[in-house]
Every structure is written in structure tokens, then in C-alpha cells.
Structure 1
Amino acid sequence: MSLEKNIVANYVGQIYVTMVGIVMLPLYIKYMGVEAYGLIGFFTMLQACFVLLDMGLTPTIGRETARFRGGAMPALEYRQLYRALSSIFFAIAVVGGGGLFLLSEFIASNWLNVEALQIDEVRLAVEIMSASVAMRWMCGLYRGVITGSERLIWLSSFSVLVATLRFILVLPVMWYFGCTPFVFFVYQFLVALVEIIGLASKSCQLLPADRYLSGAIGWSFKPIRLVLKFALTIAFTSSVWVMVTQADKLVLSGILRLDEYGYFSLAVLVASGIMVISGPVSSAIMPRMARLHAEGKYDELTRVYRGSTQLVSIIAGSAAITLACCAEQLLFAWTGDLQLAAKVAPILRLYAVGNGFLAIAAFPYYLQYAKGDLRYHLIGNLGMVVVLVPCMVLAAIYFGGAGAGYVWLVSNGLFLLVWVAYVHYKLEPGLHVKWLSKDVLLIILPTMIFAGFLKMPNLELTTRLENFIYVVAVGVILVGGALFLSDVARGWLVSYFYRRRSVR
């Protein structure tokens, strides 16, 4: 499967999933209320926190699937590993979901600052969340198999279907049965059930058939020992990652009123689009780079790494700059609420720029993932959690969402400038200066300067349509300029038009 096709398929799917979720949010707020949307934001945070229970299993099955496809692992060993991991996933889903169910009374009564909603209604919603979160987390096992097999076009199509069910078709259901948290979360439970059945069925099709095995699969956890070091390293760094990215949300969910937490969740959700649009690149290159490393094609691995960095710098960088420059215009065009736009815009700017730094700083992790050695990723994330989490918690307590946003921006900027340079020096000496100057700064800095000129005219935009057109125009112009600055993007475009002319 072509890497370019996988990346395009990922982007089509992720853009749809992200946009449909964001576009529908004003309707949720309108019909359910801001406090109920705060409950949805809490649900989203819980799903992210469930990564703490992952223990490195999802990335491990993805990497081992890619290695099996590259011929570095026999079919029987792979099936034994898959069965062992499936058992662990199921056990953790039961324990994690059950624990959340038992804590539902405490969460509703003592943690969330509920004013308008009934406590019993919130408790019931949390109980339903527990089952939905457990099922959606277990989908990680099946997504790992599908991603590692590089069946990303199918996965993207299925994600579009699930997003349509989750974000769009929930509205007619709520209009018919009532716009209440109970109806919303029961429906999300049913969608999670459809999702896990679909992903499990596809992953089973991709497993090597029994007739190709050299012996019986059996029931043993011995295969896990071979990947235990890698899995535990992933587990620790994933746990640290969750602590780093969710500490502010967890703390603020217990400090802010549920309606104010809804506004904060709104800003973080929009800013998270930066990471979402960089996600398809990582999903496509991680199994490819792992396979190239297994095959000993190191020069090709480096080309994929640098070319993908430029692609993320173009798309995620331009998106972050656009959000930072046009935060209020975007929020007003989206919600039609000037007061909401004024409250959310400062937080959105901070998280957008911080996520832009983060999208690029994540690349050394992909390189370490391909090599199967996450030592420096482990050390870097440990340093982040020691410094960032206490600062994030204190900033959130004393300065609210804006304080957390400043800490997020500064910490990710320093991580990109300092730690990434050290990791490159250790893994690929001589790479960092070329990577940072040509693949990142040559694209990002001129785009930032150009965005400053675009903001200089004092335009008076009064309608939602005018604001929307302005944001889209700025985004398109910045992406176009960034494409021109990238030699890899120019090469792809020239090659594409050349092929088109040859066909004619």
C-alpha cells in the first residue's frame, strides 16, 4: 500500500471526524446547555485518562504487526502474542470500567460542581460512560492490528462511519427521545458497541489463518516477555503523557463550575485539532518506519522521517498559526455567540500554539519507535512530568484555564528547542540542524511573518459568514505559502501534475 495513499486516507478520515465533531458542538450546547456539555467534556477527558491502563499494549501490537508483515516474526509467534494481549485487554477493560462505575456516586456528588443538572442524572450518565469508555479503549487493540497492517484506507472509512453515527445521528435521536444527558450517553454506548464489533471483525480477518501456523496457539503469556521491555517503556511514557496532557483538565473539572468547564473544554477541543491533523501522518509512518528498520533500509527511513516532518510543519503549523491569529473570528463564526468567543479565544490561542510545538516535537518518538528503543523518550517524558504537572496544577488552581494554557505553551516550546536536539544528537548525529532549519523553521517562520501581515488590516467583520470566510481565506493562504516553502511538497506536486499530463 502506498504511503502517500495511506496519509491521504488518514487525513480525509481525520478531517471529517474532527470537523463533524467540532461543527456539531454548538448544537449540543444550544439544545443540552453548557453544563451538559461540560459533562461531555468530562467524558472526553475520561477516555484520554484510560490510556493509563494501556500498559503500552496498543503501540506494541501495532509495532509487532508491522514487524510480522515485514517478515521479522513467524505467524505462530504473532498469533500467540495477539491472544495473550487480547486476554490482558479484556481483563483491564473489565477492571477499569468497573472501577469507574463504582466511583460514579462520588464523581457526581463530590467531584463535579453541578448546579442545574440533577445529581442522580449525572450519576447515571457516569455509569453509562464507564461501559462506553471501556469499550472504546479496548478498540485500541484492534486498531493496532489494522494500523500495523497498513489497512488505513479501510480504517479511515470506518472511522468516518462511526463519527457520523456518534456526532450527527445523535441529534435526531435526542430530538425524538429528549435532549438529556441520559439519552446522549445511552446512544454513545450503542455507537461504541458498533465500533468495537466492526474493528474486532476486521482485525480477525487480518490475522494469519490457522493453516499457516506451525503449531497450536495455546494459552500462554510467554510471548509477551519478548516485547516486555518495549511495552513497559511505552506504558510509562503513555502514563506520563496522559498526566501531562490531562492534568489541567482533571484539576479544572473539580475546580470550575460545570458550565465554565464546558467553555474550557470547548477551547481545548478546537486546539486539539492541531494534534488530530498531525495524527494521520504518524499513523502512516510509524508502521512503515518500523518495517524499513526491520528490512535495514535506513536511508529510506530517514527520507520518510524528514518528508513527514515537512508535511506536519505545513499542515499543523499553518493550522496553529491560523487559530492563534483568528481565534475570536473562528469562534464567533462557529457559535454566533460573541460573549462565548471572547471567553474562549485567549485559552484557544495558547493551546493552539502549544499543540503546534507538540506536533513537531513528537517526531523523535516516531524514530525511537521504529528502532525499538524508547530510552530517550522515557527520560524526556519523565522530565516533563516532574516539571510540567506541578506547574500545570498550580497554574490551573490560581489562574484557571489561561494559566494552564501559558504553562502548556512554554513547556512544549522548550521541549522542542532543547530535548529534541539532544535526542537527535544521540540517535542520528548530524541530522538535527538540517531537520530543524530546513524541515521546520524554513516553513514555520515565514508563515508566521506572513500571518502577521495578514492581520495588519483592521477589518470590521460583523456577520458570522464574513468571519468564516476570513478565517478560511487566512488558512488557505498560509497553507499555500507553506507548501511553496517545502521542497518535499513541491516535489510531490510536480510529480502529481507530471503524471496527470502523462495520462492525457
Structure 2
Amino acid sequence: MSTLKRNIIANYASQLYVTGVGIVILPLYVNYMGAEAYGLVGFFAMLQAWFTLLDLGLTPTISRETARYKGGSMSALEFRRLFRALSMIFAGIAIIGAGGLLLSSKWIASNWLTVELLSLEEVTFAVQVMALSVALRWLCGLYRGVVTGSEKLVWLSVFNVFVATMRFIAVFFSMWLYGFTPKVFFIHQMIVAFIELSGVWCMAQRLIPSINSQREFIGWSFEPVAPFLKFSLMIAFTSSMWVLITQTDKLILSGILSLTEYGYFTLAVLVASGIMVISGPISNAIMPRMSRLHAEGKQEELASVYRNATQLVSVIAGSAAITIALCAESLLLIWSGDEQLAKKVAPILRLYAIGNGMLALSAFPYYLQYAIGNLRYHFVGNFILALVLLPAISIAASLHGAIGAGWVWLSVNIFYLLFWASFVHYKLLRGLTVRWILSDVLCIVIPALILSSAYILFSLVMEQKNNTIFSNFLFIVLTAVFSFIGSLSFNRKFRDWGGKVFKVVNR
């Protein structure tokens, strides 16, 4: 097996494990720590996401330049100078970021977060430990970039699995010994963050080239970073827009909702995020293929790959979104075993599941722009989306809480899919302007929705569903089957395959 294939398989396996164990273990946090304490966990996750705004594209830059060094495009001395300059930047940002959070920890605990059961001192201490943990995990980005650029992805994947196990599972052993409290939880997370930093630092040190220190001087200048600023800032802009679009609701709601309600909201959003994980491998596979086809001038083949991939995501992500939305309460009941939690979280989960399904499909115009090499419309679209989303979520969340934010998320993603995607197609591939949304999306998603909804209506009329674990599980499975059959029957590839089978059978 080639190194590339091993890297891809290892990367996907670790990604699925890290995401899966994170989702599966969450109900235990709520059961043992309480919903309000879990709200702090959700706030911690949101802080880590917002901290990526400070990356400024530096992590992809060191990864790219490590690969270029390995390919012989840069001397060892040049690489060491760049690495030292980036190390100083990363360390500076970590100190400033952690210091800012530490100094504002009391204000965050007393003025931003709405605490009902936990003590102010306990929440303040948790925020202070969060600050240190976020800074340690932030520093990992520099060394992960070196490991990734060196294509040591099998090692990194195994290490990620180890860290995820320590973070999500081993924490229960610590809490079993010392108590199921936020203090124990976040101290454990800080220790794991230190172990993670130590691991990637050690591996990066093995991969960084050595030089003759007596004849070659590295220095302490930021000048080596200057040639890469344009590349870094382009990535930084895209990343910043993505963080603003996907994390603004979480930031706003963390200051509006009580920690208990915020914990429920975080649960819903995390379950719905599984839809994006499902569609990720497909997008990662088609982007380089489409780029190559465009470079070779094979526009018809590019359009074919693009449409086939869209239909595949419509079937997979569309069916998943419909199933989660229609069976939200049953899914949460099986997952958590808590009927009260299921009833509170289900309405939010429905909105975010459908919204994320739309988002998985509306990402396709970006893949097209990436292949063509023109990201202008992607920048403009994300900028407009952020301008609409930020005030809309602020108003809706203030008036209606998490449900209001969910409706805004769903509405904005529907608009982006139906109108902005059509605009991008009109500008870049005019022949797809109408066919893409009608043939490749709606003609697949709508039959899936109709067939699965018909099954649910039939179940309710026949009173076949009750609240046992088995009946809920069967209800979810059958809904997924009907949704999948409905979407698959209108997939062009499946119809062509079915036609061939029909001809063979009737010979």
C-alpha cells in the first residue's frame, strides 16, 4: 500500500474515532456532572474554536513550507529561521490569549455566563484552567504543522486517537477518583493538553533539520515570515469567516442562556455536526480530482464529477439530516436515556440538522471555485453571509434563545443553497445554474423527505411507536431506510444501474 493511501486511511480512521467518541460520551458528562457543568464544557469547546481566529494561516504555512523543504525547495537554515520566527509568533499569541482570558476570568464567570447552581469561585477557576488549556492546545498547531508537512500522518493519527481517549474517556477515571466536578474535569483536560503538546513537540524536533551552529546562525528575526504573508492571510480570511459563521451563535448564546440551557444547546449542535463529518471524505476526494481536470481542460468531465458528487452527498447527507430531524427525540432518548433532555434538545437538533444538511450541499460551489482557482465569489459570499448572520442571530437569540438561533441558522443556509449557489454556477458554469439545484439536489432530497414522512405518519396512525429502546431504535432505522430508498431511487447513477439490471433480467 502506498504512503498516500496509508495516510488517507489513517486520517479518516482517526477522524471518525475522535468525532465518534466525542459524541457518544457526551450523555455521560451530563449524567455525572449535570447539565450546568456540561455547559462549561460547551463553553470550553467554543473558546478553542474562536482561538483559531488568531492562527492567521500560520499552521497551514508551516505545513506547506515543511513539505517544500522535504522536496528540496528550501535549505535547512532557511527552514530553521522560518520555524523560529513562527515559534516566536505562536508563543506570543499563546501568552497574550491566555493572559487575556486569565485576567477576564472573574468577569466572564460573573457577567457573561449565567450561573445558577455552581459557585462563582468554581466557575472562575474553571475559566482560568480553560485559558491555560486553550493556550497549550494552540501551541500544538505549530508542531502539528511540521508533522503534517513531513507526511507523518499515520503517527499523527495514532497519537490523535491516544489524546482523544485520554481527553474523553480517561477523564472519567480522574473524576471517579477525585469527584465529578468541573474542577477535576478541567484540570484533567489541562494535563492532557500538556501531554499532547509534549508529544507533538518531541516528534517535530525529530523532523526539524539540524544545522552546524558554529557556521550557520539562525537568529531571532521575523523577516523569514514576510514572503509567506499573502498566502497566510488568504487562508486566515477564509478560516475567520468560517469561524464567524459557525461559532457566532455559540458565543452569543453563551452570554444569553443559563449554563444548563447552553449545555442542552451544545449537545444538539454537536449531534448535528455529524452530518458534516459524513460528507467530509467526499469533498476531500473530489477537490484534487476536479483541480486536475480543470488544469487538463476537461470541463465536461469536471462537471460530471461535480454533479455525481453532489448527488452522492444529497443521498448521504440529505438522508442523514432528514432522519435526524424527523427522529430527533427518539435518537436523543436512545443516546442519553434521559426523556427530559430528549424533549428539550430535540427542537434545536431538528433545526441544526436540516441547516447542516443544507450547509453540506452549499459547500459545493466552493469546491468548484477551488478547482478553477478563483475564490473571489467564495470570499464575497462568506462576507455577505457573515453580515446577515451575525445581527440576525444576535436578535433572534436575544428574543427566542436557542430556538431563535436555530431558525436563523436554517433560514440563512436555505438562502445560501438556493440563491448564492445558483449565482456562482451562473458565473462559472452556466449550464448548471438550474439543473444542479433541481436535478442534483431537490429531486433527491424531496422524495426522501416525502417517503420517510409518510412512514412516520403511518407509524403514528397505527400506533406502532412507543418509548422502549428497541422500538425507538427500530423507528430510527426504518425512517433512515425509507429516506435512503427515496433519495437513492432518484439518483442518476442508481437509475442507470437499475436500467442495466432490468435489461439483463428481461433478456
| TM-score range relative to shorter protein | 0.7 to 0.9
Hey, what's the Cα distance between the residues in 2 that align with 1:297 and 1:199? Answer: 39
Matched with 1:33 is: 34
* SS class of match (2:466): coil
Q: Partner residue of 2:99?
A: 98
1:67–1:291 Cα contact (<8 Å) kept: no
Q: Does 1:470 align with 2:456?
A: no
Structure 1: distance between partners of 2:347 and 2:40? 22
Identity of aligned residues (%): 57
Q: Hey, what's the Cα distance between the residues in 1 that align with 2:148 and 2:323?
A: 30
Matches within 5 A, 1:62-77: 62=63, 73-74=73-74
Matched letter for residue 246 of structure 1: Q
Q: Is the 8 A contact 1:10 1:280 kept in 2?
A: no
Whichever residue aligns with residue 351 of structure 1, its letter is Y
CA contact (8 A) 2:451 2:482 kept: no
In 2, the alpha carbon distance for the partners of 1:208 and 1:481 equals: 56
Inter-partner Cα distance in structure 2 for 1:491 and 1:90: 57
CA distance in 1, matches of 2:491, 2:348: 30
**Corresponding residue for residue 251 of structure 1:** 252
Correspondence list, 1:95-494, <5 A: 95-147=96-148, 151-203=152-204, 220-282=221-283, 288=288, 292=292, 296=295, 299=298, 309-369=310-370, 373-427=374-428, 430=431, 436=437, 440-441=441-442, 443-458=444-459, 459-475=464-480, 478=483
**Partner Cα distance (1:203, 1:105) in 2:** 36
Q: Secondary structure at the match of 1:456?
A: helix
What are the Cα deviations for residues 291-310 of structure 1, in whole angstroms up to 9, with x where unaligned?
959x9556587777666545
Alpha-carbon distance change, 57 to 421 in structure 1, aligned in 2, over 3 angstroms: farther
CA shift for structure 1 position 92: 1.3
Provide Cα deviations, 1:457-478, integer angstroms capped at 9, x if missing partner: 2232221233134324544664
Q: 1:59 to 1:244 in 2, by over 3 A?
A: same
**TM-score, structure 2 as length reference:** 0.83
Q: For 1:7 and 1:450, how far apart are their aligned partners in 2?
A: 36
1:149 and 1:483 mapped to 2: Cα distance? Answer: 40
Q: 1:56 to 1:7 in 2, by over 3 A?
A: same
The corresponding residue for 2:19 is: 18
Q: Alpha-carbon deviation of 1:88?
A: 2.0
Q: Which amino acid letter does the alignment assign opposite residue 395 of structure 1?
A: A
- Structure 1 or 2, whichever has the larger Rg, is 2
* C-alpha distance 285-391 of structure 1, shift in aligned 2 (>3 A): same
- 1:86 Cα offset (Å): 3.4
Task: Answer yes or no: is the 8 Å Cα contact 1:65–1:78 preserved in 2.
Answer: yes
Cα distance in 2 for partners of 1:141, 1:425 equals 40
1:84 Cα deviation (Å)?
3.4
For residues 436-491 of structure 1, what are the alpha-carbon distances to aligned partners after superposition, in whole Å with 9 as ceiling and x for unaligned? Answer: 56654454344333322332322322212331343245446645775676677999
Q: 1:290 to 1:164 in 2, by over 3 A?
A: farther
Verify the 8 A CA contact 1:311 1:489 in the aligned structure 2.
Answer: no
CA distance in 2, matches of 1:311, 1:147: 29
Alpha carbons of 1:117 and 1:5: their partners in 2 closer, same or farther (altered >3 Å)?
same
For 1:291 and 1:155, the matched residues in 2 are separated by: 27
How far off is 1:369 after superposition? 4.8
Question: Is the CA contact (8 Å cut-off) linking 2:393 and 2:405 kept in structure 1?
Answer: yes
Q: What's the TM-score once normalised by structure 1's chain length?
A: 0.84
* Alpha-carbon spacing, 1:167–1:223, altered in 2? closer, same or farther (3 Å): same
Deviation at 1:114, TM superposition (A): 1.0
Deviation at 1:321, TM superposition (A): 1.6
2:93 maps to a residue whose letter is I
The more displaced of 1-10 and 170-179 is: 1-10
Q: Contact (CA 8 Å) 1:240, 1:382: kept in 2 or not? A: yes
SS at match of 2:270: helix
Deviation per CA, 1:232-271, whole angstroms, max 9, x where unpaired? 2332332232222222222221121111111111111111
Q: Which amino acid is 1:256 matched to? A: L
Q: Which amino acid aligns with 1:234?
A: I
**Which amino acid in structure 1 is aligned with residue 158 of structure 2?**
S
Change (3 A) 1:105 1:297: farther
Residue 504 of structure 2 aligns with which residue?
Answer: none
**Mean Cα displacement is larger for which, 194-203 or 166-175?**
194-203
Partner residue in 2 for 1:49? 50
- How far apart are the structure 1 equivalents of 2:63 and 2:384? 26
Instruction: Name the CA distance, whole Å, in 1 between partners of 2:396 and 2:379.
Output: 25
Conserved 8 A contact 1:6-1:284? no
Q: Distance in 2 between matches of 1:437 and 1:203?
A: 49
Shift of 1:126: 0.6
CA contact (8 A) 2:465 2:471 kept: no
Give how far 1:56 is off: 2.4
- CA separation in 1, counterparts of 2:64 and 2:141? 13
Aligned to 1:227, the other structure's residue is in SS state: helix
Contact 2:452 2:480 in 1 (8 A): no
Pair 411,61 (structure 1): closer, same or farther in 2 beyond 3 Å:
farther
Report which stretch shifted further, 324-333 or 355-364: 355-364
* Distance of 2:435 and 2:69 partners within structure 1: 33
How much has 1:18 moved relative to structure 2? 2.2
Residues 308 and 94 (structure 1 numbering): CA distance in 2 closer, same or farther, change over 3 Å? farther
Return the letter of the residue paired with 1:400.
Answer: G
Give yes or no for contact 2:114–2:256 (8 Å, CA) kept in 1.
yes
What is the distance in 1 between the residues matched to 2:257 and 2:184?
25
Structure 2 unaligned segments of length 5 or more: list them: 498-507
Decide whether aligned partners of structure 1 residues 5 and 430 sit closer, same or farther in structure 2, where only a CA change above 3 A counts. farther
Q: 1:497 is matched with which residue? A: none
Q: Which amino acid aligns with 2:255?
A: G
Distance change (3 Å), C-alpha of 1:326 and 1:374: same
Q: Please report how far the alpha carbon of residue 432 of structure 1 lies from its aligned counterpart in structure 2 after TM superposition.
A: 5.6
Instruction: Give the superposition deviation at 1:94.
Output: 1.8
Contact 1:354–1:413 (CA<8 Å) still a contact in 2? yes
Instruction: Work out whether residues 445 and 487 of structure 2, in 8 Å CA contact, stay in contact via their aligned partners in 1.
Output: yes
The residue identity in structure 2 corresponding to 1:463 is: T
The alignment of Structure 1 onto Structure 2 pairs a total of residues equal to: 486
**C-alpha distance in 2 between matches for 1:490 and 1:152:** 39
Cα RMSD for the two superposed structures: 3.6
Q: How far apart, in 2, do the equivalents of 1:64 and 1:431 lie?
A: 37
Determine if contact 1:230/1:373 at 8 Å carries over to the other structure.
Answer: no
Aligned counterparts of 1:453 and 1:17: Cα–Cα separation in 2? 35
